[in-house]
Amino acid sequence: MILTRNTKIKLFTSATKPKAAYMGTVKVYPNSSLAVTASLAFAAAGGSLSLAIQVEDGQSWSLSGLPSGWSASSTSGTGSASVTITAPNNTTTAGKGGTITVISEDLSAACVVSQAAGAIVYETPIVTAFGYPDIPAAGGTVAPNVYAYQQTYTWNGVPGSGGVLTTGGTIYYSNTSGLVSAGNLGTTIQGRTAVYQMITRVDMNGVTGQNASCYVYQAENAVVSKRFDVSVTGHGNDIPHAGGVAYRYVTTYVTPTYSSGAKGAMVLSDEPTVTDSFSSSWLLRNSMVKTGLGSYTYSYSASAAPGNAARSVTITYTVTGGERTVTTMTQAALQVYKLNIAGSSGGGLQFNQWATFGQFKVYYGAGSGGPWLGGTTVNWSSVAQGTSVSWTGDYPYTRLQGDCNSMADAAIMASGGSVVSGGMTSMGQMDCVVRLNDNEVGIMIEPRPR
């Protein structure tokens, strides 16, 4: 071999390549050498390691046999070098390996490379969305209506090498069930109120999740509507034909309905106003007196009616909200009464309105122009026995002066009974006998010697 600067020229003197040649004590053939790193072991996450290649100056080399996906900073060169071998992240659960071969002239050397098996690394699961619907004011039980979670994983802890899991976890709640209940608020007014704080987490792939929490609310309970009503009593209390006063008793009602569905009672702040209205030339409203919460007494009056017939007017009571009710106020018709005359001849009967007490009096007279105290005398001679005398007025036969007041019980008369009274002292010595006769009152007065 002849050396010319950095170029080696080989000259052989025989047909076969000699094993070695020397010039003096200097070995001149072969004068090449090659040595490489025996092995490289890579972590599962991959990375870079240095492959040392040692050759003589000017000696060229090349390498091959890199595993798939691996890289080398250089695959050929001259002279000794340090080559960076890079292995990617192992995203499989199997180890990887191979042999890198370096060739230099007639020499070759091998480096055994290996990489650990990959493993999935799971991060802490987190709850990304968690919530409940409001419990109604009427009460009830709710479950979560929003729940989402995720767990990020990587291969060998290398960021971005894995993915995100959103299913397969085990959900835990602070009250075990995850259900929250509340009772009916009834008529209790309150705003939207937190009734419970729920804590939750999700465990996945052997990793305990991170706690998350949210408040569970009960919806507002408020008055959502009000019903206004009015009622009237005292309908049978009408005005007599002769005039007078009658009353109507008005009660207003406000029934609030709450979000809970409950019905409440009227309170002072809800008390509605009430007005009466009617169209009449004869009926007057005297007063309206408030007697309690929602209660009123109305007083009405009228003078004596000009005719004999009854008359009436409609009164309308209206409360807040437009609800109303009506009543009819009546002034009675003029009543007609009839008295059957039965008795012996002689004497007389007189019918007169006793203005002081508003009663009728029937008393004995000795004859025409007898000892009457006023009024009109009806003599026996002018009223035959068994005939009838009628009068018109506002006072019924049941209101007689003196001891005959005992006949004032109309129920006794209606049952067919008899009432006997004696000693009408205001009119002297006489009897008053009252009995039923053809469903009408029969009065017989017998004169007595004075």
What average pLDDT does this structure show over 100-115? Answer: 95
Contact between 434 and 420 under an 8 Å Cβ cutoff? The reply is yes
Q: Does pLDDT of 144 surpass 60? A: yes
Question: What is the reported pLDDT for 39?
Answer: 97
Please check whether residues 239 and 167 belong to one and the same domain. Answer: no
Question: Looking at the whole model, is its pTM more than 0.85?
Answer: no
Q: Which of 109, 144, 175 is the last residue of a domain?
A: 109
Instruction: Report if residue 380 sits inside a domain.
Output: yes
Please check whether residues 203 and 234 belong to one and the same domain. Answer: no
Question: What is the reported pLDDT for 119?
Answer: 97
Please check whether residues 316 and 364 belong to one and the same domain. Answer: no
Question: What is the reported pLDDT for 73?
Answer: 97
Tokens 């007196």, residue located: 289
Please check whether residues 74 and 157 belong to one and the same domain. Answer: no
Residues in contact with 316: Cβ distance below 8 Å, sequence separation at least 6, in sequence order:
276, 277, 278, 324, 325, 326
Question: What is the reported pLDDT for 317?
Answer: 92
Residues in contact with 73: Cβ distance below 8 Å, sequence separation at least 6, in sequence order:
83, 84, 85, 86
Query: In this predicted structure, which of 22-31, 125-134, 369-378 has the lowest mean pLDDT?
Result: 369-378
Q: How confident is the model at residue 393 (pLDDT cuts 50, 70, 90)?
A: very low
Q: Does pLDDT of 259 surpass 60? A: yes
Instruction: Report if residue 395 sits inside a domain.
Output: yes
Q: What three-state secondary structure class fits 421? A: strand
Residue 396 tokens, joined: 């019924």
Amino acid at 165: L
Please check whether residues 172 and 149 belong to one and the same domain. Answer: yes
What average pLDDT does this structure show over 87-103? Answer: 96
Phi, psi dihedrals of residue 213, rounded to the nearest 5°: -145, 160
CATH number of residue 53's parent domain: 2.60.40
Which of 176, 171, 178 lies closest to 204, judged by CA?
Answer: 171
Any bridge partners for residue 367, and if so which?
none
Query: In this predicted structure, which of 26-35, 170-179, 218-227, 395-404 has the lowest mean pLDDT?
Result: 395-404
Specify the DSSP class assigned to residue 221: B
Q: Which residue has the higher pLDDT, 26 or 224?
A: 224
Instruction: Report if residue 182 sits inside a domain.
Output: yes
Instruction: Report if residue 358 sits inside a domain.
Output: yes
Q: Does pLDDT of 362 surpass 80? A: no
Question: What is the reported pLDDT for 180?
Answer: 98
Please check whether residues 176 and 250 belong to one and the same domain. Answer: no
Proportion of the chain above pLDDT 90, given as a percent: 52
Chain mean position to CA 129: 26
Q: Does pLDDT of 106 surpass 80? A: yes
Please check whether residues 132 and 102 belong to one and the same domain. Answer: no
What average pLDDT does this structure show over 188-202? Answer: 97
Question: What is the reported pLDDT for 21?
Answer: 62
Query: In this predicted structure, which of 10-14, 60-64, 431-435 has the lowest mean pLDDT?
Result: 431-435
Please check whether residues 83 and 168 belong to one and the same domain. Answer: no
pLDDT tens, residue by residue, 119-136: 999 999 999 999 999 999
Q: Does pLDDT of 324 surpass 60? A: yes
Please check whether residues 434 and 339 belong to one and the same domain. Answer: yes
What average pLDDT does this structure show over 34-57? Answer: 96
Instruction: Report if residue 8 sits inside a domain.
Output: no
| Separation CA 360–CA 363 (nearest Å) | 10
Question: What is the reported pLDDT for 140?
Answer: 97
What average pLDDT does this structure show over 95-100? Answer: 96
Q: Which of 218, 244, 260 is the last residue of a domain?
A: 218
**Dihedral (C-alpha) 396, 399, 401, 406: value to the nearest 10 degrees?**
130
Q: Across all residues in the chain, what is the average pLDDT? A: 75
Q: Which of 300, 331, 362 is the last residue of a domain?
A: 331
Q: Which residue has the higher pLDDT, 17 or 364?
A: 17
What average pLDDT does this structure show over 326-353? Answer: 52
Number of domains present in the structure of the chain: 4
Range of the domain at 176: 121-218
Amino acid at 172: Y
| Separation CA 92–CA 247 (nearest Å) | 100
Q: What three-state secondary structure class fits 10? A: coil
Q: Does pLDDT of 341 surpass 70? A: no
Proportion of the chain above pLDDT 70, given as a percent: 67
Please check whether residues 392 and 366 belong to one and the same domain. Answer: yes
CATH number of residue 259's parent domain: 2.60.40.10
Contact between 42 and 114 under an 8 Å Cβ cutoff? The reply is yes
Specify the DSSP class assigned to residue 420: E
| Separation CA 420–CA 446 (nearest Å) | 13
Instruction: Report if residue 4 sits inside a domain.
Output: no
Q: Does pLDDT of 37 surpass 60? A: yes
Q: How confident is the model at residue 15 (pLDDT cuts 50, 70, 90)?
A: low
Please check whether residues 318 and 400 belong to one and the same domain. Answer: no
Please check whether residues 128 and 79 belong to one and the same domain. Answer: no
Please count the other Cβ atoms lying within 10 Å of the Cβ belonging to residue 335.
15
Specify the DSSP class assigned to residue 111: E
Instruction: Report if residue 138 sits inside a domain.
Output: yes
Q: Does pLDDT of 350 surpass 70? A: no
Instruction: Report if residue 251 sits inside a domain.
Output: yes
Residues in contact with 260: Cβ distance below 8 Å, sequence separation at least 6, in sequence order:
136, 137, 138, 139, 184, 185, 186, 187, 221
